[in-house]
């Protein structure tokens, strides 16, 4: 019995020593694993970023995007915005084509200075000043220090919230307003949910002699809801030395309604803001009576009024794909001098499917239908099929 007791104790001591050794080895293995994970995370964060000099960090980004399109009734070119110019005299021959003009290159950076960190962003694509020319053009070019931003970027008054997705970067669903202008902006963030900003911007309206506009924006963010509200005030100076005041307002919201599902809604309205809206460039609002050149002024010298609504829904289909539907409509009120063949309303619908093979590679397909109505009641429509291959870096 004594020998058996001694043997048992020796066995317990051996087991204890083995467990202690195993625990120590496990601790060492865990520490090594944690160190490796930290190193990988640091390495991942550094991808695409370089340190050009002490206190200077640069990050390169962009994408290569190929669009293939086919129109059934009218050859609209690279975007659907040309639908605003379709009339009874337009040739109905449809058309197909492809382009890579939306390929984009960008550079973001930070610089440590004595007065704080300076941020900047430079970005361009190959759409050209005339649209689809293949020439490089500036999209974003601005710097930030603290709450102050100066340079060219998205207009301050138009919310990104409520803008339904479409695979075409330009025009997209009818209604709304998405453009970039030179500006000086001040942003105040009282907490993590709210942001408030004001800006002095270059006016977007062609034909105006006064080229400044005042904008204001308020945005709210919560885990499931994002809301943005904006205002713009502009004065349109004509060749007849007359001044017409324009005022616009917009509100948009994104709502995570259910697991993998998002709802979006946006409204834009006001007077003398039509040139700041999508799908307006060929609408005929260019009354020249009395030397007036601004599109937003009618034959009596009054501001043209317009309203627009966008709505969309997106549903994820697993981890790598989603499907979305977007609808938009913009309508111009009756105004003096409006011709019978001028645009009264444009509406469009987009059904889009996207598949992300990896985070860097996306394939997409979209069918869209755009309709234009004139003041005399005549209507014209076009259906477009579009495919996209996009490589992001």
Beta strands in the chain (DSSP E): 49-53, 56-71, 95-99, 104-113, 116-125, 137-145, 148-154, 180-188, 194-202, 212-221, 225-237, 243-258, 261-271, 305-316, 321-332, 343-356, 361-374, 379-392
122/239: higher pLDDT: 122
Q: Is pLDDT above 60 for 248?
A: yes
**Which residue in 66, 65, 74 sits closest to 384, CA to CA?**
74
| Cβ-contact 94, 76 below 8 angstroms | no
Mean pLDDT for the stretch of residues 276-296: 52
Q: Is pLDDT above 60 for 216?
A: yes
Domain coordinates of the chain in residue numbers?
1-46, 60-102+149-392
CATH fold of 60-102+149-392 reads: Porin (2.40.160)
Q: Is pLDDT above 80 for 77?
A: yes
The mean pLDDT of the chain is: 83
**Of 129-133, 194-198, 360-364, minimum mean pLDDT range:** 129-133
Residue 169, token pair as written in the block: 């970067």
Residue 84, token pair as written in the block: 């605003």
Rg of the chain over CA atoms, in angstroms?
28
The string of pLDDT tens digits covering residues 304-318 is 899 999 999 999 999
Which residues on neighbouring strands pair with residue 332, listed in sequence order? 306
Helix (H, G, I), strand (E, B) or coil at 332: strand
Mean pLDDT for the stretch of residues 99-117: 94
């Amino acid at each position: 019995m004594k020998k058996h007791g001694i043997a048992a104790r020796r066995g317990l001591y051996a087991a204890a020593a083995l467990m202690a050794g195993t625990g120590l080895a496990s601790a060492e293995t865990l520490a090594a694993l944690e160190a490796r994970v930290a190193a990988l995370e640091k390495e991942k964060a550094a991808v695409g970023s370089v340190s050009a000099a002490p206190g200077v960090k640069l990050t390169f980004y962009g994408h290569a995007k190929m669009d293939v399109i086919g129109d059934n009734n009218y050859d609209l070119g690279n975007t659907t915005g040309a639908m605003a110019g379709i009339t009874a005299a337009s040739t109905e021959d449809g058309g197909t084509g492809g382009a890579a003009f939306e390929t984009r290159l960008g550079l973001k950076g930070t610089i440590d200075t004595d007065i704080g960190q300076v941020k900047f962003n430079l970005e361009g694509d190959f759409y050209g000043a005339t649209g689809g020319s293949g020439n490089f053009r500036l999209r974003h070019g601005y710097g930030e220090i603290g709450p102050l931003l100066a340079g060219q970027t998205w207009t301050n008054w138009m919310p990104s919230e409520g803008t339904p997705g479409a695979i075409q970067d330009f025009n997209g669903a009818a209604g709304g307003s998405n453009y970039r202008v030179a500006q000086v902006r001040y942003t105040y963030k009282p907490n993590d949910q709210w942001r408030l900003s004001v800006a002095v911007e270059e006016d977007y309206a062609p034909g105006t002699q006064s080229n400044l506009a005042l904008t204001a924006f308020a945005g709210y963010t919560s885990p499931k809801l994002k809301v943005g509200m904006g205002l713009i005030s502009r004065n349109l100076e004509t060749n007849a030395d007359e001044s017409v005041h324009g005022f616009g307002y917009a509100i948009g919201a994104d709502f995570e309604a259910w697991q993998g599902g998002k709802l979006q809604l946006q409204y834009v309205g006001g007077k003398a803001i039509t040139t700041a809206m999508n799908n307006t460039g060929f609408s005929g609002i260019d009354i020249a009576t009395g030397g007036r050149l601004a599109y937003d002024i009618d034959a009596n010298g009054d501001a043209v009024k317009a309203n627009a609504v966008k709505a969309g829904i997106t549903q994820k289909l697993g981890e790598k794909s989603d499907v979305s539907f977007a609808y938009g409509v913009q309508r111009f009120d009756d105004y003096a001098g409006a011709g019978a063949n001028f645009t009264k309303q444009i509406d469009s619908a987009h059904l889009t499917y996207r598949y992300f093979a990896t985070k860097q590679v996306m394939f997409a397909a979209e069918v869209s239908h755009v309709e234009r109505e004139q003041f005399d009641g005549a209507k014209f429509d076009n259906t477009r099929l579009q495919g996209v291959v996009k490589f992001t870096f």
